[in-house]
Amino acid sequence: MRPTVSATRTGRLLAATLSSLLLLTACSSGEDGTSGTGSNTPVQGGTLTAAVDTEPVSWDIHASTQDVTAEIQRQVFDSLVSQDAQGKFHPWLATKWEVAADYKSYTFHLRDDVTFSDGTKLDASAVKANFDHIVAKSTKSLYAASLLGPYTGTQVVDAHTAKVTFSKPFAPFLQAAGTTYLGLYSPKALAANAGKLAAGGPADVGSGPFVFSSYTKGQSAVLTRNPKYDWGPATAKHTGPAYLDKLVIRFLPTASVRAGALTSGQVQVAKAIPPQNVTTVKATPGLSLISRQAPGGNYNLWLNGSIAPLDDQRVRQAIQRGIDIGQDVKTVTFGQYPRAWSPISPTTPDYDKSLEGSWPYDPKLSAKLLDEAGWTGRDAQGYRTKNGKRLTVNWPLLSIQATREGRDVLAQAIQADLKKIGVEVKHPSLDLGTYNTEVYGGKANFVDLSWPRFSPDVLWLFLNSGSAPAKGGINATFVKDADLDKWTDEGRATLDEKVHADVYTKVQQRAVDLALVVPLYTQVSLVGESAKVKGLTFNASNWLTYYDVWLDSK
């Protein structure tokens, strides 16, 4: 039997690395991101209506790659462990766990009093059913499957003990196990409705504080209180059922409409407050703003180095240095989002601060690099040419997310910048099916992605060749680099702080040096809330949680 590392020791190892790195900023709020006015005694009842800027394409937490799916479904689905703002792990559905010294197995001891909302009891076989569902080819999971890494199976040791095993050391697993993507469905629901989970509504059966009651496409989702809930995470402020009777999520993609719904009182919480409306929200009586920089992958442009013209590193570098990122981001986000320098954000463990300022806007260098790469001609529109062919790159846009955070406007600024150095950027709006074919089929030159995750292991997902889309991953560079593979593999094989600091620093620097990535900005959650809303918080993944929320009628 291999020696094990206790849950407490594992938490200490991670907390030491993470505690100084998580930046939490809040306006008109307490240190935990909760509103600090009015009564301090929680009351039960009422309906809270919240507005979000993006509607999930799929509600299936095991198949979806969208953070909005994970955030909303966090209210419906529980996880084995919970993680606090300092990175320490706490019990949830598992009361305790052991981690093998080689990080190739994790043994979870489950609570014996948990039931899913359809009455099914939680047991070890439910854990096995869920993890096996995630890696099944029929699930077509991209993100959740990557979070299970080199998963080989789950052993049902006894009714309330599950041993999860891996073919290689997999140190990031506990952090992944605390995300919604590895949350647990009722095994009965999985067996009966596996093909219906994407549609949401009553088919989605979890054990969380809310039940997914209904979904009206293009309008809203309704979650209702689970009256039997009594197994909240140790990180929660209370025990027992949620305070709210009902949580209504409205889909309002138009920024002005979403902000107006908040200021007019139609909603009590609004996510993704447009940067231009921050001052108005702060100045409106009865409203406040809470904000937090997201951990994980920044909003980045990933450059496909496997096809022309970006298979030439000089062209990639010219593009990287030919975008006036600082000015573009400042203008589009009204100074609310910081310009990014690394593929991961400053709130992510092992962020490399030395990259800040190391690759500034330099159109003269871009011109020199393009000349060296042979793109010396110019056509009638001013674009560079070589052998009679225009220097053109293809950047597909997912139509349903076109206006998110003003990314459509930022894209226009990037197109204008690159036109100045002679690069044409085509940015067609595509439906989901066509987008997936273009992007994950390796036909796109640019892919824009942001992935919130409180772990530097997100760099493995972005840059390791084992995360190639053909293998179900998200490495949109389509480049196999021996150093990037080696370092990201080393990072996920240990929790040693010195190893992490070394390899993840080198990964960030090499990704920028190879111009496989153009970091654009760090996402900041700008959330407006009514003074009546109490207890609203961000979790470690930067998602709002409503379990502790209550409404003050005063």
Sequential DSSP letters for 148-170: T-SEEEEEEEETTEEEEEESS--
Q: What is the pLDDT along the chain (554 residues), one digit of tens a residue?
A: 333 334 433 443 333 333 333 333 333 333 233 333 446 899 999 999 999 999 999 999 999 988 899 999 999 999 999 998 888 999 999 999 999 999 999 999 999 999 999 999 999 999 999 999 999 999 988 789 989 999 999 999 999 999 999 999 999 999 999 999 999 999 999 999 988 999 999 989 999 999 999 999 999 999 999 999 999 999 999 999 999 999 999 999 988 899 999 999 999 999 999 898 999 999 999 999 999 999 999 999 999 999 999 999 999 999 999 999 999 999 999 999 999 999 999 999 999 999 999 999 999 999 999 999 999 999 999 999 999 999 999 999 987 776 778 889 999 999 999 999 999 999 999 988 899 899 989 999 999 998 888 999 999 999 999 999 888 788 999 999 999 999 999 999 999 999 999 999 999 999 999 999 999 999 999 999 999 999 999 998 889 999 999 999 87
Q: Among candidates 486, 500, 337, which has minimal Cα distance to 405?
A: 337
Dihedral Cα 125, 133, 55, 81, nearest 10 deg:
40
State how far the Cα of 269 lies from the Cα of 210, in Å rounded to an integer: 17
State how far the Cα of 5 lies from the Cα of 99, in Å rounded to an integer: 5
Please report the pLDDT score of residue 392 as a whole number. 98
Q: Among candidates 182, 183, 225, 224, which has minimal Cα distance to 77?
A: 183
Report strand pairing: 429-430 vs 397-398: parallel
Structure tokens at 534: 């109490």
State how far the Cα of 80 lies from the Cα of 233, in Å rounded to an integer: 9
The answer to whether the CB of 65 falls within 8 A of the CB of 198 is: no
State how far the Cα of 500 lies from the Cα of 494, in Å rounded to an integer: 8
Q: Among candidates 476, 421, 30, 391, which has minimal Cα distance to 237?
A: 30
Please report the pLDDT score of residue 398 as a whole number. 86
Structure tokens at 200: 């949401």
Please report the pLDDT score of residue 185 as a whole number. 98
Please report the pLDDT score of residue 39 as a whole number. 63
H-run or E-run covering 256? helix 255-263
Vertex 351: Cα angle to 405 and 313 (nearest 5): 75
DSSP classification of residue 202: G
Q: In the sheet that 246-251 helps form, which strands lie side by side, from edge to edge? A: 25-26, 287-293, 524-530, 269-270, 47-52, 246-251, 220-225, 210-216
Q: How many CB atoms are located within 10 Å of the residue 438 CB? A: 17
Q: Among candidates 287, 292, 403, 279, which has minimal Cα distance to 337?
A: 292
Which residues partner with 210 through β-bridges?
225
Please report the pLDDT score of residue 46 as a whole number. 97
Q: Among candidates 56, 11, 89, 270, which has minimal Cα distance to 181?
A: 56
Please report the pLDDT score of residue 24 as a whole number. 31
Q: Cα–Cα distances in Å, from 251 out to 49, 72, 167? A: 11, 12, 41
Q: Cα–Cα distances in Å, from 216 out to 62, 71, 199, 249? A: 21, 18, 10, 10
Q: Which residues of 30-42 are buried (b: 16+ CB within 10 A; e: fewer)?
A: eebbbbeeeeeee
Structure tokens at 39: 């009564």
Please report the pLDDT score of residue 200 as a whole number. 93
